[in-house]
Structure formats: C-alpha cells, structure tokens
Amino acid sequence: MNDIIKSIETPQLKEDAPQFIVGDTVRVYAKVKEGNRERTQVFEGVVLKKQNGGIRETFTVRKTSGGVGVEKTWPLHSPIVESVEVIRHGKARRAKLNYLRQRTGKAAKLKDSKKQRNF
C-alpha cells in the first residue's frame, strides 16, 4: 500500500522546492484569487515551524503587522506557493519556535546564523 501512495505523490512534488529551515526569515510569494483575477501576494516573516514530510509538508511563517502578530501556514508543494525567498538565516536551537508568540520588539528577534548551510 505504501508503494502505491508514493507512486501517486512523487510526480506532484516540486522539483525546485525551496531550501530553508526554522528560524530563517523568508519572503513567500503566494497566488491570491480575487473574483476572476489572480495576483501574487508577498508575505515576509520568520519560519516558526516545518511539519510532516513529502507531499504533506507545511511551514508556518509569522510576522508583525500593525502591532498584531499574523501567522500563515502553507503547504510547501502547493501550486499556490509560487516561490520562497530566504532573506536571512536565523540561529534557532529548537524545531518549533512557539515561544516567539509571546515576545515583542527586540526580544522577538533571532541572531544571525554564522554557520555555512549546504542543502
């Protein structure tokens, strides 16, 4: 059964899937449909978490807009997500950065990662 599911899901994976990890500041370009028109909307923030794997992989990005925290979760391999651009590499020592939700201002910032990343 597992091989059958893999054979169906594999062609739907993006070949050029973006390479980023938790703590990175990213800019997500997503398609938005408004009536009969379609446009690209940009959402820039810190990656709080990445979940699952394969076709079901999702990531959550958080930003502060007008003093209010806004989080969005996207499927990584969805056609709605056009591209993900890494702006800055942050140093995170855990897999999920839920503690950033209670922080504001400078306390909500992550240090820059000095480590060289090879994906």
Kindly report the number of other CB atoms within 10 A of residue 31's CB atom: 13
Instruction: Place 62 in a pLDDT band, splitting at 50, 70 and 90.
Output: very high
Residue 118 lies in a domain: no
Residue 119 lies in a domain: no
Cα 106 from Cα 15, distance rounded (Å): 37
Residue 27 lies in a domain: yes
Residue 56 lies in a domain: yes
pLDDT per residue as tens digits for the range 42-60: 999 999 999 998 899 999 9
Please tell me the pTM assigned to this model.
0.89
Amino acid identity for residue 44 in this structure: E
Write out the residue range of the structural domain in which residue 70 sits: 2-103
pLDDT at residue number 1: 63
Q: Which two tokens stand for residue 4?
A: 């059958």
CB 13 within 8 A of CB 57: no
Q: Looking at residue 50, which CATH number applies to its domain?
A: 2.30.30.790
Residue 117 lies in a domain: no
Residue 114 lies in a domain: no
Q: Which two tokens stand for residue 8?
A: 């169906």
